[in-house]
């Protein structure tokens, strides 16, 4: 018998499969997300749909689609889909079969044995139903693994010493928090709490309600009533906006021709700020903290007993989650393992160990350093111009983009100096200066002017820092090569000296040209970013608001735009677009910057023509 054992996260919203291949545990599957939506359905012609295709038709044809079947596992009640009845384990088996097929394609071998994860609170009946689903899909389930255990394995807490960790898992439709002790292969879940009906979908609902209300205000039409297509588009737009708000302080939502009235297309156009969004979801996130308190209490542990907080589930990318956890526990949560894939990777670690491989943890590319900019704030009760808070936090997976919002500190301020540091100290001068530039010619307004500072760090260690005046889109940026290389003692000393000199030569200004945000995007795709490390000036920025981001935002945004347009494209364009998606995926996987640039440029051009035609 082959020694292949796969690890599977059979999730409520998404499912993934992982295995040991190429010297490490990897999540297998097509596309860049490698996540299979846990959705099963039938097309109008009765064809079986599993994953993305089923999820896409869910809003329009709920009677032909089933999602979140995990909630029904263990029940003997059948669910009706497309006119046929199924037991929950039969629906789960269809999802498992598809995942096994993904593994087959990736490894050239069909897996026969699997480790499958389940929530810690699953009863025997629910665990048995999961085993049965495996058997129905042709998989011998060699171990049912608790999800918090899988997460702690993915994060490397199965190394032999004893650790107590808090695992906070917020997915699309469920929330779980567990306090776990891990020692080698033995993991004990001391306490678990949660809410089976709380997750990112609720955040989408709140945002979609806000969009629907805005549309009603603008056009007098309530799209929530009797217009399933418009309603489905609104929820999609809400989810996309929500994800963007995890890394941008503002998001502009535009849905063309959401409704047509008397042959006149009516558009939705609205801008939502992170602050407004966070105010909406705050009560929900705060309710998760009550569960954290209960789990700690039941486990007999105090916040200070925790060695780490591990974040699991796509919705933990929401920055409010991290900031409230830091406030409550006083520990920076770890999110260096991709939160959507952590459970699958942990199942993969267990599967590899059961197959006889000594796998300690999974490997991820993370930034070993924090990066940020200095700002005018308060230290010890006095204004201090070198306050510092990281924008990119160390141990975050690469590539990534993060944006923070700052305000000018004086009325009519027209220039801001941006000093970029590597380090974690609250005093910028104790960190390492890695670059600096000025943004000039800002609109002279009496009120505080918003300046967005966007940082992008890629796998090659290239750090791009842009300052954008929100009001006008005016942008100035620099590119810092080798940002991930450890600095030598001399370089550090030289950096400190430069800071000192910088503040002694205040008032001199560099004469630089302006660029718009569009130019910036163009430049990034062309790989031709402005460099500017010569600057001085006296004006400061103040008040950061934390913002997070994920992924290579430009490329992801491009791919997302393209995917949304696929259905509307002519066959030839669609073929070309799919071909370019594959090229981009490949180039990203092999980190081939030239190929990526070429494919992204070609896709951008194609979309330009496609958008002009439809
Ligand atoms: P999971 O069940 O772990 O796959 O998580 C899925 C949920 O994570 C969905 O509600 C997604 O909308 C949400 N999600 C994915 N990416 C992000 C993001 N960048 N910010 C906030 N939520 C996200």
313 ligand 1 Cβ < 6 A: yes
pLDDT tens per residue, range 148-163: 989 999 998 877 788 9
Q: Which residues contact 150 (CB under 8 A, 6 or more apart)?
A: 7, 9, 117, 342, 343, 344, 345, 346, 347, 349, 350
Q: Say how many residues make up the chain.
A: 614
- The pLDDT of 14-31, averaged and rounded, is 93
Residue 513: predicted pLDDT: 30
In a domain, 355, yes or no: yes
Q: 456 and 376, same structural domain?
A: yes
- The pLDDT of 382-406, averaged and rounded, is 88
pLDDT at 527 over 50: no
In a domain, 286, yes or no: yes
Q: 296 and 386, same structural domain?
A: no
Residue 510: predicted pLDDT: 32
Q: 221 and 329, same structural domain?
A: yes
Q: Ligand 1, closest atom to CA 239?
A: 12
- The pLDDT of 557-569, averaged and rounded, is 79
pLDDT tens per residue, range 109-122: 999 999 999 988 88
Q: 609 and 481, same structural domain?
A: no
Name, of 20-34, 490-504, 546-560, the range with top average pLDDT.
Answer: 20-34
- The pLDDT of 284-296, averaged and rounded, is 96
Residue 465: predicted pLDDT: 94
475 ligand 1 Cβ < 6 A: no
- Report the distance separating Cα 256 and Cα 614, nearest Å: 11
The CATH number of whichever domain residue 291 belongs to comes to 3.30.420.40
Nearest CA to ligand 1 atom 16: 314
Name, of 1-15, 469-483, 548-562, the range with top average pLDDT.
Answer: 1-15
Residue 529: predicted pLDDT: 29
In a domain, 318, yes or no: yes
Residue 579: predicted pLDDT: 84
Q: How far is the CA of 150 from the centre of ligand 1 (A)?
A: 19
315 ligand 1 Cβ < 6 A: yes
pLDDT tens per residue, range 407-432: 998 899 999 999 999 988 999 988 88
Nearest CA to ligand 1 atom 17: 243
Q: How far is the CA of 200 from the centre of ligand 1 (A)?
A: 6
Residue 420: predicted pLDDT: 94
Give the 3-state secondary structure of 254-314. Answer: EEEEEEEECCEEEEEEEEEEHHHHHHHHHHHHHHHHHHHHHHHHHHCCCHHHCCEEEEECH
Residue 509: predicted pLDDT: 32
pLDDT at 525 over 60: no
Residue 11: predicted pLDDT: 96
pLDDT at 514 over 90: no
In a domain, 265, yes or no: yes
Residue 344: predicted pLDDT: 97
3-class DSSP state of 181: strand
Q: 522 and 396, same structural domain?
A: yes
Block residue for tokens 């000093």 = 419
Cα–Cα nearest to 467, from 408, 555, 410 = 408
Among 493, 513, 542, identify where a domain stops. 542
Number of domains within the chain? 4
Nearest CA to ligand 1 atom 8: 314
pLDDT at 91 over 90: yes
Largest distance between two CA atoms of the chain? 77
Nearest CA to ligand 1 atom 3: 313
pLDDT at 363 over 80: no
Bridge partners (DSSP) of residue 427 are: 387
pLDDT tens per residue, range 303-334: 999 999 999 999 999 999 999 999 999 998 99
Block residue for tokens 């998989």 = 139
In a domain, 547, yes or no: no
Q: When comparing pLDDT for 270 and 531, which is higher? A: 270
In a domain, 548, yes or no: no
pLDDT at 548 over 60: no
Q: How far is the CA of 312 from the centre of ligand 1 (A)?
A: 10
In a domain, 538, yes or no: yes
Q: 433 and 498, same structural domain?
A: yes
Q: 172 and 319, same structural domain?
A: yes
Choosing from 67, 200, 251 the residue with most ligand 1 atoms within 8 A of its CB, the one to mutate for a pocket test is: 200
Q: Are strands 432-439 and 475-480 parallel, antiparallel or unpaired?
A: unpaired
Which of the four pLDDT bands, split at 50, 70 and 90, describes residue 538?
A: very low
Among 510, 542, 574, identify where a domain stops. 542
Residue 574: predicted pLDDT: 80
pLDDT at 503 over 90: no
The CATH number of whichever domain residue 398 belongs to comes to 2.60.34.10
pLDDT at 379 over 90: no
Residue 584: predicted pLDDT: 86
H-type alpha helices, 308-464? 319-329, 342-354
- Report the distance separating Cα 155 and Cα 336, nearest Å: 8
Residue 587: predicted pLDDT: 81
Percentage of the residues of the chain whose pLDDT score is greater than 90: 57
pLDDT at 530 over 50: no
550 ligand 1 Cβ < 6 A: yes
Q: 138 and 214, same structural domain?
A: no
Q: Ligand 1, closest atom to CA 314?
A: 8
- The pLDDT of 381-394, averaged and rounded, is 89
Residue 274: predicted pLDDT: 95
Q: How far is the CA of 260 from the centre of ligand 1 (A)?
A: 31
Task: Give me the domain span that covers residue 601.
Answer: 553-613
Nearest CA to ligand 1 atom 18: 243
- The pLDDT of 207-234, averaged and rounded, is 92
Which of the four pLDDT bands, split at 50, 70 and 90, describes residue 609?
A: low
Q: 403 and 357, same structural domain?
A: no
Choosing from 243, 337, 560 the residue with most ligand 1 atoms within 8 A of its CB, the one to mutate for a pocket test is: 243
In 355-462, the DSSP E strands lie at 371-379, 382-392, 400-408, 416-422, 432-439, 450-457
Q: 607 and 522, same structural domain?
A: no
Percentage of the residues of the chain whose pLDDT score is greater than 70: 87
Pick the range with the lowest mean pLDDT from 91-105, 173-187, 395-409, 599-613. 599-613
Q: 287 and 355, same structural domain?
A: no
H-type alpha helices, 487-538? 489-504, 517-526
pLDDT at 445 over 80: yes
Which of the four pLDDT bands, split at 50, 70 and 90, describes residue 570?
A: confident
- The pLDDT of 224-229, averaged and rounded, is 85
- Report the distance separating Cα 341 and Cα 357, nearest Å: 20
Residue 614: predicted pLDDT: 58
In a domain, 441, yes or no: yes
Q: 357 and 231, same structural domain?
A: no
Q: What is the mean pLDDT of the chain?
A: 85
pLDDT tens per residue, range 178-204: 999 988 777 888 888 888 889 999 999
- Report the distance separating Cα 574 and Cα 566, nearest Å: 6
């Amino acid at each position: 018998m082959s020694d292949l054992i796969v690890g599977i996260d059979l999730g409520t919203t998404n499912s993934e499969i992982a295995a040991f291949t190429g010297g490490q545990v990897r999540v297998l599957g097509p596309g860049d997300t490698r996540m299979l939506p846990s959705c099963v359905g039938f097309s109008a012609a009765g064809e079986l749909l599993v994953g993305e295709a089923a999820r896409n038709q869910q809003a329009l044809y709920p009677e032909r689609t089933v999602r979140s079947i995990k909630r029904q596992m263990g029940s003997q009640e059948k669910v009706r889909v497309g006119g046929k009845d199924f037991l929950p384990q039969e629906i789960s088996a269809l999802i498992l079969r598809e995942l096994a097929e993904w593994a087959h394609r990736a490894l050239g071998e069909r897996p026969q044995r699997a480790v499958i994860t389940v929530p810690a609170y699953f009863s025997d009946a629910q665990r048995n139903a999961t085993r049965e689903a495996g058997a129905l899909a042709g998989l011998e389930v060699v171990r049912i693994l608790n999800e918090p255990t899988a997460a702690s394995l993915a994060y490397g807490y199965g190394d032999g010493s004893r650790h107590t960790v808090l695992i906070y898992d917020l997915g699309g439709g469920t929330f779980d928090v567990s306090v776990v002790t891990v020692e080698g292969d033995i993991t004990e879940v001391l306490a678990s709490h949660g809410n089976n009906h709380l997750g990112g979908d609720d955040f989408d609902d709140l945002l979609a309600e806000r969009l629907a209300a805005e549309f009603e205000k603008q056009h007098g039409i309530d799209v929530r009533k009797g217009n399933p297509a418009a309603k489905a588009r609104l929820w999609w737009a809400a989810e996309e906006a929500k994800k963007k708000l995890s890394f941008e302080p503002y998001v502009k939502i535009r849905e063309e021709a959401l409704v047509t009235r008397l042959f006149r297309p009516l558009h939705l156009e609205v801008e939502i700020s992170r602050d407004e969004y966070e105010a909406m979801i705050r009560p929900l996130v705060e309710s998760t903290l009550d569960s954290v308190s209960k789990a700690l209490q039941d486990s007999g542990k105090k916040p200070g007993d925790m060695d780490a907080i591990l974040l699991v589930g796509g919705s933990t990318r929401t920055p409010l989650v991290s900031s409230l956890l830091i406030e409550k526990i006083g520990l920076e949560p770890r999110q260096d393992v991709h939160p959507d894939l952590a459970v699958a990777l942990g199942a993969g670690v267990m599967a590899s160990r059961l197959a006889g491989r000594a796998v300690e943890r999974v490997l991820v590319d993370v930034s070993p350093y924090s990066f940020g900019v200095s700002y005018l704030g308060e230290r010890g009760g006095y204004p201090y111009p070198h306050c510092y808070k990281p924008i990119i936090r160390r141990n975050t997976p690469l590539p990534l983009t993060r944006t923070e919002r700052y305000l000018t500190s004086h009325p009519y301020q027209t220039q801001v100096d941006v000093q970029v540091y590597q380090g974690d100290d609250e005093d910028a001068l104790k960190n390492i200066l890695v670059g600096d530039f000025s943004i000039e010619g800002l609109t002279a307004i009496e009120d505080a002017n918003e300046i967005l500072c966007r940082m992008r760090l890629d796998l090659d260690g290239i750090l791009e820092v842009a300052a954008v005046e929100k009001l006008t889109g005016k942008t100035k940026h620099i590119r810092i090569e080798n940002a991930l290389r450890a600095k030598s003692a001399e370089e550090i000393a030289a950096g400190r000296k430069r800071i000192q000199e910088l503040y002694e030569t205040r008032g001199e200004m560099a004469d630089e040209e302006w660029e718009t945000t569009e130019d910036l995007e163009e430049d990034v795709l062309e790989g031709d970013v402005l460099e500017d490390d010569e600057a001085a000036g006296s004006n400061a920025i103040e008040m950061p608001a934390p913002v997070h981001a994920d992924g290579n935002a430009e490329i992801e945004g491009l791919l997302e735009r393209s995917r949304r347009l696929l259905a509307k494209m002519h066959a030839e364009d669609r073929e070309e677009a799919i071909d370019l998606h594959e090229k981009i995926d490949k180039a990203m996987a092999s980190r081939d910057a030239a190929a990526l640039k070429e494919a992204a440029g070609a896709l951008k051009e194609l979309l330009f023509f496609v958008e002009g035609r439809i």
